[in-house]
Amino acid sequence: MAKPDETRLRAILKSTSYIVSHEIVLFFIAWLLTGDPLKAISITLIGSLAEFVLYYFHERLWSKIRVGKETSK
Tell me how far the alpha carbon of residue 10 is from its chain's centroid.
Answer: 17
pLDDT band at 2 (very low <50, low <70, confident <90, very high): low
d(CA 3, CA 7): 8
- Residue 26 in contact with residue 43, Cβ under 8 Å? yes
* 16-56 pLDDT, tens digit each: 999 999 999 999 999 999 999 999 999 999 999 999 999 99
DSSP state at residue 4: T
The values of phi and psi at residue 72, to 5°, are -80, 145
In the predicted structure, residue 1 carries a pLDDT above the cut 70? no
pTM, full prediction: 0.72
pLDDT of residue 73: 63
